[in-house]
């Protein structure tokens, strides 16, 4: 058996987007990920199916696996022919013990790469609005471990040299020793009024920052019951925080938002949440797929082959557009054969999907649901006309029913099916169980019913009760009705049935909650 390879990768300080391009590539290509507590669990979403995940993280009161055992584990996995990514928080070369892991790999003849990461020593202060250097305050910095006991600290740190060696001092893992660290710095010449900041879980939505001076910081830490992990910054650069605290000022900072839409569509909403300072928790409860039964496919072909017979093409979703064109391609039907049909769409995203394919819409309703579309079309359709409706199998009957009442023949074709998604992140399920979700977003009625059904399948007898304390955001009145009918408590509803409007409603809620 060929020997494998090990990538010793720095995951960055917490925000999953701070991993390097090279580090992300290693994650995507490996057979096994060995990861610790300080690496964002959301990074594991990037691994390929079947990748083995091994947690070896350390907690303050216990070690899941001793360092020597981790070193040997990497060797054993590589000797078994595996490509291994060892994912470590921050940068692996800064108090990451990568040297010990790499040395044993070398001794066993195993090839390895060290992939640097963004260290928490600079990233965490930056996310708290504290640049570690500044032309007016500090032109140099020192990075010191604060994790050892006081007697070990005194042996490893030359306080008389470190205290005034640089403008900024960064202590990693030193919360429990903050009093001792402050006393030593004062004793060796730092003024008592020197500013100090502690940033806990920096670059994450849980980020919390406290500020004091060397004289006051221990009492402040105790009063706040401030717990590790945290980065300690000592120096005048801390004063920059008042003006530069950009991350904590974002409108969704501190909020974890459950995104229930299909994985293929979730990225836009997730990215927007992240840009606004929140943490998107992707938990897709629906998947879409093409109909597979031969009789369904034959019926689709027949209706699409009758392209010249339609006076109207009515699209009610982006998925309807996507799957419609997929079937035109499959059946080799030229879209120009629909030249006699006027095109209408429900919602700007659906219109945009059509525009991307070179088609403009005749009508776009004021509100983005079928009822509003009907209002905008009233008096414009003629009895005897024929309308093609490419939709999903769960589409409501409002549109075709009203068209029939007007004397228009609706031809409904199910170009896609909506089913319960088969894969969800276990961490997201844990957050739901713990009540660690700040908001659940529903963007369709099927996301509501499927989330409840999925939770039942996962062993929760009463999912409505489980979700009772979690705020819920709806994209519009149709989805809101499903939420209420299911027994859930609606918190906010988008004014217009769009992602922009949904996010605006969530932002307004979060601002009121903070007051």
pLDDT tens-digit readout, 96-107: 788 899 999 999
Structural contact between residues 234 and 192, judged by C-beta atoms closer than 8 angstroms: no
Superfamily of domain 5-117: Tetrapyrrole methylase, N-terminal domain (3.40.1010.10)
Answer whether residue 129 shows pLDDT above 90.
Answer: yes
Higher pLDDT, 182 or 381: 182
**Domain boundaries in the chain?**
5-117, 122-244, 256-285+422-514, 289-420
Give the strand pairing for 195-200 and 208-213: antiparallel
Residue 363: what pLDDT?
64
Query: What is the b/e burial string over 420-436, where b = at least 16 CB atoms within 10 angstroms of the residue's CB?
Result: ebeebbeebbebbeeee
Give the whole-angstrom CA distance, residue 273 versus residue 279: 7
464 token code pair: 């409505």
Answer whether residue 36 shows pLDDT above 90.
Answer: no
Q: How many CB atoms lie within 10 A of CB 102?
A: 21
CA nearest neighbour of 361 among 298, 309, 399, 316 = 316
Looking at the domain covering 256-285+422-514, what would its CATH class be? alpha beta
Answer whether residue 367 shows pLDDT above 60.
Answer: no
Structural contact between residues 460 and 466, judged by C-beta atoms closer than 8 angstroms: yes
pLDDT digits (tens, 9 = 90+) for 1-25: 688 999 999 999 989 999 999 999 9
Least confident of 45-49, 182-186, 373-377, 462-466: 373-377
Do the domains 256-285+422-514 and 289-420 sit in the same CATH topology, yes or no? yes
Answer whether residue 377 shows pLDDT above 90.
Answer: no
How far are the Cα atoms of 158, 371, 387, 441, 476 from residue 368, in angstroms, in the given order? Answer: 67, 8, 19, 17, 9
Give the whole-angstrom CA distance, residue 57 versus residue 37: 5
**Distance, C-alpha 104 to centroid of its chain:** 35
Give the DSSP letter string of 277-295.
Answer: T-EEEE---EEEE----HH
CA nearest neighbour of 286 among 181, 418, 440 = 418
pLDDT digits (tens, 9 = 90+) for 385-436: 999 999 988 777 888 888 888 898 999 999 998 888 776 667 788 888 888 8
Residue 141: what pLDDT?
92
Length of the chain: 515
CA nearest neighbour of 450 among 483, 471, 421, 474 = 421
448 token code pair: 């509501």
Residue 227: what pLDDT?
92
Enumerate residues 6+ apart whose C-beta is below 8 A from 323: 288, 290, 390, 415, 416
**379 pLDDT band (50/70/90 cuts)?**
confident
Return the active site residues. 36, 58, 173
410 token code pair: 């609706």
Q: How many CB atoms lie within 10 A of CB 459?
A: 6
C-alpha torsion angle, residues 388, 393, 398, 402 (rounded to 10): 30
Looking at the domain covering 122-244, what would its CATH class be? alpha beta
Which CATH code is given to the segment(s) 289-420? 3.40.50.10090
Give the whole-angstrom CA distance, residue 206 versus residue 165: 32
Give the DSSP letter string of 216-270.
Answer: THHHHHHHTT--SSEEEEESGGGGGHHHH--STTSTTTT-EEEE-S-HHHHHHHH
Give the whole-angstrom CA distance, residue 425 versus residue 97: 29
The CA-to-CA distance between both ends of the chain, in Å, stands at: 62
Residue 491: what pLDDT?
97
Residue 431: what pLDDT?
87
Tokens 């390097």 map to which residue? 20
pLDDT digits (tens, 9 = 90+) for 444-498: 898 999 999 999 988 899 999 999 989 999 999 989 999 999 999 999 999 988 8
Least confident of 183-197, 293-307, 415-429: 415-429
As a whole-number percent, the residues of the chain with pLDDT over 70 amount to 93
Q: Which H or E run includes 503?
A: helix 499-514
């Amino acid at each position: 058996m060929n020997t494998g390879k090990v990538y010793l990768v720095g995951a960055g300080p917490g925000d999953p987007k701070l991993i390097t391009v090279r580090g992300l590539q290693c994650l995507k290509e490996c057979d096994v990920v060995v990861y610790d507590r300080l690496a964002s669990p959301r990074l594991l979403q990037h691994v390929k199916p079947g990748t083995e995940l091994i947690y070896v993280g350390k907690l303050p009161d216990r070690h899941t696996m001793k360092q020597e055992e981790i070193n040997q584990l990497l060797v054993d996995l590589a000797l078994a022919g595996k490509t291994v990514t060892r994912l470590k928080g921050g940068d692996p070369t800064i108090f990451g013990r990568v040297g010990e892991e790499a040395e044993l790999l070398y001794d066993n003849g195993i090839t390895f790469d060290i992939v640097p990461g963004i260290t928490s020593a600079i990233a965490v202060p930056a996310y708290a609005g504290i640049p570690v250097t500044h032309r007016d305050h500090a032109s140099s910095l020192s990075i010191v471990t604060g994790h050892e006991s006081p007697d070990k600290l005194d042996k490893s740190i030359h306080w008389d040299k470190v205290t005034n060696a640089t403008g900024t001092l960064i202590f990693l893992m030193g919360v429990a020793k903050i009093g001792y660290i402050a006393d030593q710095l004062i004793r060796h010449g730092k003024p008592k009024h020197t500013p100090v900041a502690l940033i806990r879980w920096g670059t994450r939505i849980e980020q919390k920052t406290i500020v004091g001076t060397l004289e006051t910081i221990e009492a402040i830490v105790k009063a706040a019951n401030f717990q590790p992990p945290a980065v300690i910054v000592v120096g005048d650069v801390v004063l920059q925080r008042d003006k530069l605290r950009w991350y904590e000022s974002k409108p969704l900072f501190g909020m974890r938002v459950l995104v229930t839409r299909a994985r293929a569509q979730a990225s836009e909403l997730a990215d927007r949440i992240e840009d606004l300072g929140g943490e998107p928790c992707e938990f897709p409860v629906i998947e879409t797929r093409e109909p597979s039964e031969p009789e369904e496919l034959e019926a689709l072909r027949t209706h699409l082959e009758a392209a010249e017979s339609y006076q109207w093409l009515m699209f009610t979703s982006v998925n309807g557009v996507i799957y419609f064109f997929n079937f035109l391609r499959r059946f080799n039907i030229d879209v120009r054969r629909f030249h006699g049909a006027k095109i209408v769409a429900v919602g700007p995203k659906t219109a945009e999907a059509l525009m991307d394919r070179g088609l403009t819409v005749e009508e776009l309703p004021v509100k983005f649901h079928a009822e509003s579309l009907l209002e905008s079309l009233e008096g414009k359709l003629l009895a005897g006309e024929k309308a093609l409706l490419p939709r999903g199998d769960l589409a409501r009957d409002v549109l075709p029913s009203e068209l029939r009442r007007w004397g228009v023949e609706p031809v409904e074709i199910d170009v896609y099916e909506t089913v319960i998604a088969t894969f969800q992140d276990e961490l997201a399920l844990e957050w739901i169980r713990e009540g660690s979700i700040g908001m659940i977003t529903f963007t369709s009625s099927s996301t509501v019913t499927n989330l409840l059904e999925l939770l039942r399948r996962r062993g929760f007898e009463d999912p409505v009760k489980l979700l009772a304390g979690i705020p819920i955001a709806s994209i519009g009145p149709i989805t809101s009705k499903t939420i209420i009918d299911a027994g859930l408590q609606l918190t906010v509803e988008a004014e217009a049935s769009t992602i922009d409007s949904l996010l605006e409603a969530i932002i307004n809620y979060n601002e009121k909650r903070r007051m």
